[in-house]
Amino acid sequence: MLKDKFERVIDYIRVSVTSRCNFRCLYCMPNTPFEWEPKENILSYEEMFEFLRLAIDEGVKKIRLTGGEPLLRKDLDIFISMLYNYKPSLDLALTTNGYYLKEYAKKLKKAGLKRVNVSLDSLNPQTAAKIAQKDVLKKVLEGIDEALKVGLGVKLNTVVMDGINDGEILDLLDFAKNKGVTIRFIEFMENERAYPGIKSVRSDKILEKIASRYKFKELPKDNSASRYFQTDEGYVFGIIEPHSEDFCKSCNRIRLTAEGYLIPCLFFTESYNIKEAIRNRDIKKAAEILKEVVKNKPEKNDWQEDEVSTRAFWETGG
């Protein structure tokens, strides 16, 4: 079992399979990065699998594939089936912008994927196009429907931005409720790659807005990044509030980037590379790095209100 210094059990890895993306979301990647990593620096699926197998043997129970946009990487279903076949009970999930989901949902489900989180920031085609800097809404909505149709578990993620989509909180909640899926509203996390001037809407304001239409109560906290709430009629929605004091208490995750960096905390700049160890087939060394990362997982993120993260969300997988 992987346990950090603060007695938190680490049983969840988020894997960014590519940094590339077909959207240019204002809060994440508004400008195309200066250059992309050359292909030889990216871990192959086989290399990622070698490392993840080790992590699974050490007790990892949940793997989420993310990016960049994970559906841009070829043969993702093959990678999913490698993981599934190794341990069918793994909680295998994907975070996607949904653009290619209609095309791939069936294949992904067949390969062993269980759940998908789709980013949906607006139901207004113009606002969605303004945020992603591309006309995306129709394809994203079709992707959500297809994922539901093939039987994947679906959740929606919405980054709430002041003056951009905060007027749609109730519409998005009703949309998710009518589809029978959970929506989670995420506070925008300030980072130096985001479009300048974007302002976060804090959880108290989001909850205030929801309270104008629904009565709800908070559910007991589990070890996910969200706080969950249930309306009187039984609908469950969530809030992700990285600005809150309690955010790190139950953190159970580490991250692996496409370039092989193992990252103990989204908001810390430290990282350790496993690429060399894996390419040299030095599994003992890779296991040592994994243990070192878990050991050095910080108690709390070092990111305060007036600070701006230097981490690129598209590299670390959000």
Query: In the complex, which residues of this chain contact ligand SF4 (CB under 6 A)?
Result: 21, 23-25, 28-29, 67-69, 97, 119, 313-314
Its sign, for the CA torsion 236, 99, 51, 293, is negative
Minimal distance, residue 70 CB to ligand SAM, in Å = 6
Partner interacting with residue 238 (select from ligand SF4, ligand SAM, none; CB below 5-8 Å by kind) = none
Judged by DSSP in three states, 61 sits in coil
Minimal distance, residue 99 CB to ligand SF4, in Å = 8
Minimal distance, residue 317 CB to ligand SF4, in Å = 8
Q: Which is nearer to ligand SF4, 60 or 189 (CB)?
A: 189
Partner interacting with residue 96 (select from ligand SF4, ligand SAM, none; CB below 5-8 Å by kind) = ligand SAM
3-state helix, strand, coil in the chain (%, to 5): 35, 20, 45
Let me know the angle formed at the C-alpha of 192 by 187 and 194, rounded to the nearest 5 degrees: 55
Minimal distance, residue 314 CB to ligand SF4, in Å = 4
Q: Cβ contacts of residue 118 below 8 Å, gap of 6+? A: 96, 97, 98, 101, 140, 143, 144, 147, 154, 155, 156, 157
* Most distant CA pair in the chain, distance: 58
Partner interacting with residue 108 (select from ligand SAM, ligand SF4, none; CB below 5-8 Å by kind) = none
Partner interacting with residue 188 (select from ligand SAM, ligand SF4, none; CB below 5-8 Å by kind) = ligand SAM
Residue nearest to ligand SAM (CB): 318
Q: Cβ contacts of residue 250 below 8 Å, gap of 6+? A: 8, 221, 222, 223, 224
List residues bridging with 12 in a β-sheet.
62, 253
Minimal distance, residue 299 CB to ligand SAM, in Å = 22
Contact 230, 236 (CB under 8 A): yes
Q: Which is nearer to ligand SF4, 66 or 271 (CB)?
A: 66
Partner interacting with residue 99 (select from ligand SF4, ligand SAM, none; CB below 5-8 Å by kind) = none
Q: Which is nearer to ligand SF4, 98 or 112 (CB)?
A: 98
Q: Which is nearer to ligand SAM, 182 or 286 (CB)?
A: 182
User: Residue 56 carries which side chain, given as an amino acid letter?
Assistant: I
Partner interacting with residue 140 (select from ligand SF4, ligand SAM, none; CB below 5-8 Å by kind) = none
Minimal distance, residue 21 CB to ligand SF4, in Å = 3
List residues bridging with 13 in a β-sheet.
63, 254
- For 286, the token pair is 């890779």
Q: Which is nearer to ligand SAM, 69 or 168 (CB)?
A: 69
Minimal distance, residue 300 CB to ligand SAM, in Å = 18
User: Cα(144)–Cα(102) distance, rounded to whole angstroms?
Assistant: 7
Residues that bind ligand SAM (CB under 6 A): 21, 27-28, 66-67, 69, 95-97, 119, 157, 159, 186, 188-189, 191, 194, 313-314, 317-318
Residue 116 has phi, psi (to 5 degrees) of -140, 135
User: Residue 8 carries which side chain, given as an amino acid letter?
Assistant: R
Q: Which is nearer to ligand SAM, 181 or 286 (CB)?
A: 181
Q: Which is nearer to ligand SAM, 189 or 294 (CB)?
A: 189
Q: How far is CA 7 from CA 1, 14, 227, 251, in A?
A: 11, 20, 21, 11
Q: Which is nearer to ligand SAM, 235 or 313 (CB)?
A: 313
